[in-house]
Amino acid sequence: MNCEAPKKEAAPGDAVSPLVLALETSCDESAAALIRGRHLLAAEVFSQIEVHGQYGGVVPEVASRNHLRALKPVLDAVLQKAGTPLSSVDAVAGTAGPGLATSLMLGLSLAKGIAVALRKPFLPVNHIEGHLLSPFLSLPEGPCQSIGLVVSGGHTLLVRINGLGSYHLLGRTLDDAAGEAFDKVGKLLGLPYPGGPHLNQQASKGDPGRFPFPRSMIGSEDFHFSFSGLKTAVRYLLKKESSVRVEDVCASFQEAVVDVLVSKTMRAIRQEKLQALALSGGVSCNSRLRERFEHECSRAGVRLLLAPPSLCTDNAAMIAYVGALKFSAGAVSRLDAEIEPSLKASGWLQ
């Protein structure tokens, strides 16, 4: 299915669509959501940013303890907000991976327990597949042929999307993910955790051409990424220069990351002869990245699909959406599913 321009939407027929509950605990967010078809009824996220901020990063043991405290209140809040009893759920989805093992285990176990108690199907969902398909949530046609760019704290992936469950990996980061590089550079500059959003804010006041940071692998013939050297270049600059404008460093660093992401992604679109780009992951909230992709896609006649900011960071709505798609497509219950902390081990990308 090709991604065409939006058409007038037909009546959704939600009354007969399955009601899917999802839980997401891949890292430090405890999240739950209810979705009917593609219509999100309720979603809640309990963030642990303030807790982990004092450590400068996520501490797995602390994250799992907070999931234990937060999961029931988050689930109760979603059911109350939707005005729906738990007994009316048709299927339960849970994030199986990738992510922190101790965090994944808690959410997946609770989701399985609810499914068993209700005697309803359980559907394991890949966290990155949730990100990848999140831009399609509001589309009547659902996932369609496109290039998907997932940019988050742990992953940077370029994927050819052929349809639900049919994905081909074109390229990935060979070291630091884009979001990881943002956070590490933010830490070098003394910005609050997580560094990405604060760096974006500072960059808006700086000169993106002030420092000629490297654009690693921008000219390589493949679609892989590397951001470790860029992070190192910032570190060396800060050691060499005693006084630099933080805003200029942020703007120059951000522009280097965006240049690489945009260049390789647009080249992948041309190579694969596709007319749509699905941009997702926490870094897709970055204002400069969105601005550049909007410009390049408009110039190339490519349809740009973006999830709203609330669905770009970790959330259960994207997990519920993928679960609902799989359930409607006839997926069978998988109570034997285990957590898959590693993206490579999950085997969902070809």
- 281 has a pLDDT exceeding 70: yes
- 318 has a pLDDT exceeding 60: yes
Verify that 86 and 205 share a domain, yes or no.
no
What are the tens digits of pLDDT across the range 174-224? 999 999 999 999 999 999 999 999 999 999 999 999 999 999 999 999 999
Chain position carrying tokens 């050297």 = 229
Mean pLDDT value across residues 171-175: 96
Does 180 fall in a domain? yes
Q: For residue 170, which of 220, 130, 112 has the smallest C-alpha distance?
A: 220
Does 56 fall in a domain? yes
Mean pLDDT value across residues 155-181: 96
40 neighbors 137 (Cβ within 8 angstroms)? yes
Does 7 fall in a domain? no
Chain position carrying tokens 């989701």 = 111
Mean pLDDT value across residues 39-56: 88
Verify that 234 and 180 share a domain, yes or no.
yes
pLDDT at 12: 43
Verify that 297 and 318 share a domain, yes or no.
no
- 272 has a pLDDT exceeding 90: yes
Verify that 31 and 93 share a domain, yes or no.
yes
pLDDT confidence band for 14 (50 / 70 / 90) = low
Q: For residue 133, which of 265, 320, 270, 286 has the smallest C-alpha distance?
A: 320
pLDDT at 170: 97
Give ∠ CA 24-26-28 in degrees, rounded to 5. 95
- Calpha distance 190→283 (Å, rounded): 19
- 31 phi and psi angles, rounded to 5 deg: -135, 150
Average pLDDT, the chain: 93
27: CATH: 3.30.420.40
pLDDT confidence band for 5 (50 / 70 / 90) = low
Tell me how many domains the chain contains.
2
- 10 has a pLDDT exceeding 60: no
Does 33 fall in a domain? yes
What are the tens digits of pLDDT across the range 129-141? 999 999 999 888 8
More confident residue, 305 or 59: 305
Residue 195 amino acid letter: G
- 284 phi and psi angles, rounded to 5 deg: -70, -10
Beta bridge partners of 124: 94
Rg of the chain over all Cα atoms, to the nearest angstrom: 20
CA–CA distances in Å: residue 149 to residues 131, 178, 194, 239, 259: 9, 11, 21, 33, 14
Greatest mean pLDDT among 38-42, 158-162, 345-349 lies in 158-162
Does 286 fall in a domain? yes
Verify that 285 and 202 share a domain, yes or no.
yes
Does 301 fall in a domain? yes
118 neighbors 29 (Cβ within 8 angstroms)? no
Verify that 123 and 186 share a domain, yes or no.
no
pLDDT at 48: 83
Verify that 108 and 185 share a domain, yes or no.
no
Does 46 fall in a domain? yes
Verify that 339 and 200 share a domain, yes or no.
no
- 278 has a pLDDT exceeding 70: yes
Verify that 215 and 342 share a domain, yes or no.
no
Q: What is the DSSP letter of 33?
A: E
**Helices assigned H by DSSP within 155-194:** 178-188
> What percentage of the chain has pLDDT greater than the value 70?
94
- 304 phi and psi angles, rounded to 5 deg: -100, 120
Beta bridge partners of 32: 23, 44
pLDDT confidence band for 44 (50 / 70 / 90) = very high
Q: Pick the range with the lowest mean pLDDT from 56-65, 150-159, 174-183, 268-277.
A: 56-65
pLDDT at 348: 64
pLDDT at 11: 38
Verify that 262 and 294 share a domain, yes or no.
yes
pLDDT at 8: 43
Beta bridge partners of 20: 35, 91
What are the tens digits of pLDDT across the range 100-140? 999 999 999 999 999 999 999 999 999 999 999 999 998 88
pLDDT at 242: 82
Beta bridge partners of 46: 30
pLDDT at 344: 66
163: burial class by Cβ within 10 Å (0-12, 13-18, 19+)? middle
Q: Which two tokens stand for residue 247?
A: 């805003």
Beta bridge partners of 149: 158, 279
- 2 has a pLDDT exceeding 80: no
CA–CA distances in Å: residue 61 to residues 18, 58, 67, 102, 111: 35, 9, 10, 8, 20
Does 9 fall in a domain? no
Mean pLDDT value across residues 261-290: 97
- 145 has a pLDDT exceeding 50: yes
Question: In terms of residue numbers, what domain contains 50?
Answer: 16-134+312-346
What are the tens digits of pLDDT across the range 237-250? 999 998 999 999 99
pLDDT at 9: 46
Chain position carrying tokens 């190579």 = 271
Verify that 40 and 129 share a domain, yes or no.
yes
Q: Which two tokens stand for residue 350?
A: 């070809």
Verify that 49 and 103 share a domain, yes or no.
yes
Q: Which two tokens stand for residue 215?
A: 């654009």
- 22 has a pLDDT exceeding 80: yes
